[in-house]
C-alpha cells in the first residue's frame, strides 16, 4: 500500500480540478469525489468502480499494473530511437550526396582547364604563323608608360590602332567563364574591375593605349609579341 498514490494526489499533481477531470472523462464529479475519498459508489456504479479508477489513473499519466499497484507509465524510447536513427541516416545521405556533387563540380572544372590548355596551344599555333613571341608579364609592364588621367571610371579599356585588329581571350576567375573577341579602332574592349580577369592579347604592337582606372597608359612601339594569362590587376604596380 505504501507504493500507491491516491487519485486526489495524481489529480493535483496534474493541476486539475474535479470538474475539469469530470469534463475530460465525461464522468459525474460526484463519482470522482467518492473515488478520491475511497467511499462506496452507489449500487448502480459499483460494478464499474475498477474501470473508473483505471480510466482516471491512465488519463492522469499512470498505469494500473496490478489490482493494488499503481506506477507511472514508462516512456517508450523505442520510437524515439528509431526517429533519431532515421534522422542520422538522412543526414549521412545528404552529406554523401553533397560530397559527390562537389566532386563532380570540381571534375567539371578540371575538364574545363584541359579545354583552356587546348586553347592555349591554339593561340601558340596561331602566333607562330605570324612570327610572334610570347611576352612575359614583367616585360609587358616594363613597356608601359603612364600618360594622364582621363576619367575616374573603375574599369579597364583597351584600344586598337587604326586598321589593326587585336584578338583576345578573357578568363573570368570569379565566374569560371571564358570570352573570346576582337578589338577594333571603333570598338574597344571594356571590362569592369569588380571581377578578377586573366587576358590573352594576340599582338601587343596593335595596342594604341590602355585606360586603367581612368589613367591612360601608353604601350611601347615594336612589341611584336603576344600576351598570355596576364592578370589585369597587375597594372596596379604602375599607379
What confidence tens digit (pLDDT) does each residue in 91-142 have? 999 988 888 787 766 655 443 444 555 555 665 565 566 667 888 998 888 8
Rg of the Cα trace of the chain?
A: 43
Which residues in the chain show pLDDT less than 70?
1-4, 64-76, 104-131
SS3 label, residue 160: strand
The domain 7-72: what is its CATH number? 1.10.260
SS3 label, residue 60: coil
In 3D space, the residue among 160, 184, 179, 155 whose CA is nearest the CA of residue 169 turns out to be: 179
> 163, 209 in Cβ contact below 8 A?
no
In 3D space, the residue among 159, 168, 164 whose CA is nearest the CA of residue 126 turns out to be: 168
Q: Spell out the domain ranges in the chain.
A: 7-72, 75-129, 132-238
pTM of the entire structure?
Answer: 0.47
Q: Average pLDDT, whole number, for the chain?
A: 81
Amino acid at each position: 500500500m505504501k507504493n500507491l498514490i491516491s487519485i486526489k494526489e495524481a489529480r493535483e499533481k496534474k493541476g486539475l480540478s474535479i470538474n475539469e477531470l469530470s469534463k475530460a472523462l465525461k464522468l459525474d464529479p460526484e463519482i470522482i469525489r467518492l473515488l478520491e475519498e475511497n467511499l462506496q459508489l452507489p449500487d448502480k456504479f459499483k460494478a464499474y468502480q475498477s474501470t473508473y479508477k483505471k480510466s482516471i489513473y491512465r488519463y492522469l499519466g499512470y498505469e494500473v499494473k496490478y489490482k493494488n499497484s499503481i506506477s507511472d507509465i514508462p516512456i517508450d524510447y523505442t520510437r524515439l530511437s528509431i526517429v533519431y536513427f532515421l534522422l542520422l541516416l538522412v543526414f549521412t545521405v545528404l552529406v554523401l550526396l553533397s560530397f559527390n556533387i562537389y566532386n563532380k563540380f570540381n571534375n567539371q572544372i578540371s575538364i574545363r582547364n584541359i579545354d583552356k590548355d587546348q586553347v592555349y596551344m591554339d593561340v601558340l599555333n596561331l602566333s607562330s604563323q605570324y612570327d610572334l613571341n610570347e611576352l612575359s608579364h614583367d616585360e609587358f609592364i616594363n613597356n608601359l608608360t603612364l600618360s594622364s588621367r582621363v576619367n575616374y571610371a573603375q574599369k579597364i579599356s583597351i584600344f586598337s590602332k587604326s586598321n589593326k585588329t587585336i584578338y583576345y581571350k578573357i578568363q573570368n576567375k570569379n565566374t569560371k567563364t571564358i570570352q573570346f573577341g576582337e578589338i577594333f579602332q571603333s570598338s574597344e574592349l571594356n571590362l569592369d574591375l569588380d571581377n578578377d580577369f586573366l587576358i590573352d592579347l594576340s599582338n601587343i604592337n596593335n595596342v594604341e593605349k590602355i585606360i586603367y582606372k581612368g589613367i591612360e597608359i601608353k604601350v611601347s612601339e615594336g612589341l611584336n609579341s603576344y600576351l598570355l594569362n596576364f592578370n589585369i590587376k597587375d597594372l596596379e604596380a604602375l599607379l
